[in-house]
Amino acid sequence: MGIIKEIHNLYLKKEITVREVIEKYLKNIENWEPHVHAFLTVNLDYIEREIKRVEGLKFNEDLTLYGIPVAIKDNILTEGLLTTCASKILANFIPPYDAEVIRRLKEKGAIIIGKTNLDEFAMGSSTENSAFGPTKNPWDLERVPGGSSGGSAVAIATGESPLALGSDTGGSIRQPASFTGVIGLKPTYGLVSRYGLVAFASSLDQIGPFARKVEDLAIILQVIAGYDPKDSTSLPYSPPNYLDSLGKSVKGWKIGIPKEMWERGVEDSVLEVLDSALKVLRDLGVELIEISLPTVEYALPTYYLIATSEASSNLARYDGIHYGYRNKNQKDLISLYKVSRGEGFGSEVKRRIILGTYALSAGYYDAYYLKATKVRTLIRQDFESAFRKVDLIISPTSPVLPFRLGERIEDPLKMYLIDILTIPVNLAGIPAISVPAGFKDNLPIGLQFMGPFFSEDKLLQISYAFQKLMDFSEKYPNTVEGL
């Protein structure tokens, strides 16, 4: 049984109130936050208003998230609640409206419990690039939780929230899910509205959920998925009932194992744990087939040309004039731009803006950005070809175990390589999910399932079957004494 259903059963029996549920999670936040720093904002006045709003609703079956707390990555707009993108340039920004996903969550009775930490503007793989300090991995407080949605993943791992939203541009949901031992889903590009998501790379960004149990993930995905006319990249697709696919047999499914994503650069300790996961899949009656995705070796450079180019364009709006941080000591417009942006952005964001501006500049556009978009098409075609032979594709989510804080932050290339197994999915626009598959030295390891466009129901079906045999949903970190 999922956490949502457990709480709702207690509501139905009148054994607990909405306020008591929220207070329980706030207590968990109070206990864990001094150690992990998963949240940037927990506004008690805002939460009080949310509790009263939900208490005024009559609990019924349509309110699928009634009285359920949800933690939100701090690059998703929340009306009346700070949205900083973990950047000094937006340190005091309070949005005038809710993102579409927030509107849908509230409509179904959810309560926004707080805004979670991230790499600044979602640019990073460790949640160390936050202007407000890093988030720490609750399984080992000297290690990173992954990024960029590290705060949301940690909130689930510690029990500070039963549900969370993140965003995934190159693995930013799946990689922290893997590093913290929770489930994270990156939906098909265009399935979930990006209206109100602060843009990093518009052709790659996608909002998705975190949870401990597949059932809970299916419920929140049902709420946030579906067409939104306010988002020009939203696709006119009516999602199925995702709960209907849970519990169905996966016997006879063909799952592809791409040699390119299992051999190069994957640590032996990761492969060792995932070997047991492959045995579980065979026990489920799945046929594992070796396949090839030859163009994925070009995914990393392709991604870092496209993503930085789009970031350069998107972040041009932070000029120190309309909103956000402004240096008040400048006498002319150009110096105001330069100094405000120079002081407001962190080093990784600046690096990506510079790289993207260069790739888009006259004389280099064809050689870099245009060529990258052509290679992106080849990568997508590789996946489409593979899905004609297999139902799903699997790989490790991350090639390495959670690494130590500070270990890679000074070496950008070393950091970028962490996303080598997740980036191809974003370039292709397809959905993927990371599920906990085991532990090595008490550090979590995730298995990534990838599917064709709009195959979220299949990903949930296989994940549910897998979780029944390899269930880590009740396993909590205990690195802090007394918790």
Instruction: Tell me the mean pLDDT per 10 residues along the chain, length 483.
Output: 96 96 98 98 98 94 96 98 98 96 98 98 98 98 98 98 98 98 98 98 98 98 98 97 97 97 92 96 98 96 97 93 86 89 95 95 89 98 98 98 96 92 98 98 98 98 98 92 70
Residue type, 79: E
- Compute how many other C-beta atoms are within 10 angstroms of the C-beta atom of residue 259: 13
Which strands, in side-by-side order, build the sheet including 69-73? 39-41, 111-116, 69-73, 163-168, 206-211, 183-186, 432-440, 443-450, 392-396, 254-258, 287-291
139-461-272 Cα angle (round to 5): 45
* pLDDT score for 362: 86
In the structure encoding, which two tokens stand for residue 378, read together? Answer: 């080849």
* pLDDT score for 320: 85
Q: Which residues of 205-234 are buried (b: 16+ CB within 10 A; e: fewer)?
A: bbbbbbbbbbbbbbbbbbbbbbebeebeeb
- Compute how many other C-beta atoms are within 10 angstroms of the C-beta atom of residue 96: 7
* Residue 375: strand, helix, or coil: helix
- Rounded to the nearest angstrom, the gap between the alpha carbon of residue 193 and the centroid of all alpha carbons in its chain is 14
User: How far apart (Å, rounded) are the C-alpha atoms in residues 197 and 177?
Assistant: 20
Burial of 413 (0-12, 13-18, 19+ CB in 10 A): exposed
Residue type, 215: E
Residue 71's DSSP bridge partners are 114, 164
User: How far apart (Å, rounded) are the C-alpha atoms in residues 161 and 398?
Assistant: 24
Single pTM value for the model:
0.97
Question: Looking at residue 188, what DSSP letter applies?
Answer: P
- The CA distances from residue 121 to 42, 74, 132, 160, 411, in Å, are 19, 9, 12, 23, 19
* pLDDT score for 243: 98
Task: Return mean pLDDT, the chain.
Answer: 96
User: How far apart (Å, rounded) are the C-alpha atoms in residues 127 and 129?
Assistant: 6
Where in the chain are the domains?
A: 1-483
| Cβ–Cβ < 8 Å for 270, 401 | yes
What is the CATH T-level fold of the domain 1-483, as seen in this structure?
Amidase signature (AS) enzymes (3.90.1300)
Residues counted in the chain: 483
- The CA distances from residue 98 to 77, 79, 121, 179, 196, in Å, are 5, 5, 18, 30, 7
List active site positions.
Answer: 73, 148, 172
350 phi and psi, to 5 degrees?
-60, -45
| Cβ–Cβ < 8 Å for 431, 451 | yes
| Cβ–Cβ < 8 Å for 178, 147 | no
* pLDDT score for 216: 98
Largest CA distance in the chain: 70
In the structure encoding, which two tokens stand for residue 49, read together? Answer: 């208003």
Burial of 257 (0-12, 13-18, 19+ CB in 10 A): middle
pLDDT digits (tens, 9 = 90+) for 160-206: 999 999 999 999 999 999 999 999 999 999 999 999 999 999 999 99
- Dihedral class, residue 51 (left if φ above 0, else alpha if ψ from -120 to 50, else beta): alpha
Question: Looking at residue 187, what DSSP letter applies?
Answer: P
User: How far apart (Å, rounded) are the C-alpha atoms in residues 381 and 301?
Assistant: 18
- Compute how many other C-beta atoms are within 10 angstroms of the C-beta atom of residue 28: 17
DSSP for 30-99 reads HHHHHHH--EEE--HHHHHHHHHHHHTSPP-TT-TTTT-EEEEETTB-BTTB---TT-GGGTT---SS--
